[in-house]
Amino acid sequence: MGECRNPRNNTSPALMPQLPSTIPDDSQRTVRRSRDAFVILNLFLLLFLGLADNQTIPALLPLLVKSLGINIEQAGLLAVFYSLSAAAAAMVTGPLSDHFGRRRFLVAGAGLFAVASWFASRTHGLTELTVARAVTGLAAGTISTCSIAMAGDWFPYQVRGRAIGLISVAYFAAPILGVPIGAEVAQHFGWRRTFVIFGAFALAVTAASLMLPREEPKRALPIGRLRQTLRSCRTFLRRRDTAAGLVIAFLVSGGLYTFIYYIGQWLSVAFDVNTRTIGEVFMLGGVVAVGSAPLGGFLSDRWGKRSVSIGGDLVLAFSVALVPYLPWGVSLLVVFGTASLGAAFRQGPLTALMTELVPSEERGAFVALRNVFSQVGIGTMVFAGGVLYQWRGYGAVTALCAVMTALVALLLVTHIVEPRAGQ
């Protein structure tokens, strides 16, 4: 296919051409480090955009319920349609990015995100907002799939844990910056203005993404390549490790996001906590997680991605199960922070591990299928969580999420083998 190759990675397609051999070694290493840093920063911003927007919805949920005159089950539909759209976008853009490159899809996704956010800010009913969130899901699914695939392309496996660990800080920087800002804006100016803020940020990220390294263009996508992609997807479903990886994606995303999605409503009803304070609770979890995510990535390169992922899963499962039985105060905040630590510790190692289960030429297709399972997990479990919340309360929701998280650890033990560096 004629891809350029990363000068530091002989096994993955690259985003930049080989550096000229006339550049001295020290200068070449400096240029490589600068390009590595830029790729990490840009992918961080892209993920942060989607995550900050999506994680702000739970904080806004009490306002949305009151403003739109809906119940908690109906509010869950916002996440369901968002997730289904994100899954559809992932399935299309992942395989196409294997051929056409990740950059153009990342730029297009960020641009579409800006348009969808503006549309959301102009809505006045549940149906309109659901459509806007579905379009946002298309953009977010594209961004998430191509960002992770690009990180897998650019960084060799032996350092990919720390690289993706740094990029994954976006998952937890979002509640530190994005959620409190969004909640503060919503508290004072209404929830529609929050989407205006995200739309403006999306425009800035679109401009930054134009400076990502260019890939060699491909003129056409052969029919044979499409057939090969479909065959690859069938293989992923049949292989023991990749099939387990897909189930893990369903459980990880569905369990964690359902726990987060309803916690704002629970805090509001159980303790009369306002939107600003809910945002501050998310910020606390984010502060803990930002320190934990890079550490988990660095340690995973030493101790193994699988081992660190399992440890994070067990900490998260225990903490999630405990949260709804604590009173408002220090003990609740400490356990919520511990849950954030567990989630952050596993994020980079688990993502790095999943990207190495398939060869580089199939990575986009596998990450796409993984994201489909992830988004279906979110949509399915948020809907189920809404029903459980109405029926048995938040404790039933967190029990389900804790079981799902524990199952992730079990699958890692029984179905996933740690790849050898440089394999």
Count: domains in the chain? 1
Task: Tell me, yes or no, whether 188 lies in a domain.
Answer: yes
- CATH assignment of the domain containing 257: 1.20.1250.20
- Tell me if 215 is assigned to some domain: no
Cα 319–Cα 322–Cα 326 angle in degrees, nearest 5: 125
Q: Is residue 422 part of a domain?
A: no
Structure tokens, 69? 């005159």
Residue 136 lies in a domain: yes
The reply to whether 315 falls in a domain is yes
Q: What confidence score (pLDDT) does residue 370 get?
A: 86
pLDDT digits (tens, 9 = 90+) for 227-237: 666 677 788 88
Structure confidence at residue 313 as a pLDDT band (50, 70, 90): very high
Q: Are 247 and 411 in contact (CB under 8 A)?
A: yes
10 Å Cβ neighbour count for 240? 11
Residue 234's domain comprises 34-209+221-415
- The per-residue pLDDT for range 30-68, each reduced to its tens digit, is 767 778 888 888 899 998 998 888 878 888 888 888 888
pLDDT at residue number 227: 67
Is residue 15 domain-resident?
A: no
- Complete DSSP assignment for 234-276: HHHHHSHHHHHHHHHHHHHHHHHHHHHHTHHHHHHHHH---HH
* Each residue's pLDDT tens digit, 387-413: 899 888 999 999 999 999 999 999 999
Instruction: For residue 177, give both structure tokens.
Output: 């910056």
Is a pLDDT exceeding 60 seen at residue 16? no
Q: What is the pTM of this model?
A: 0.69
**Quick check: 43 and 143 in contact, CB under 8 A?**
no
Q: Please check whether residue 185 lies inside any domain of the structure.
A: yes
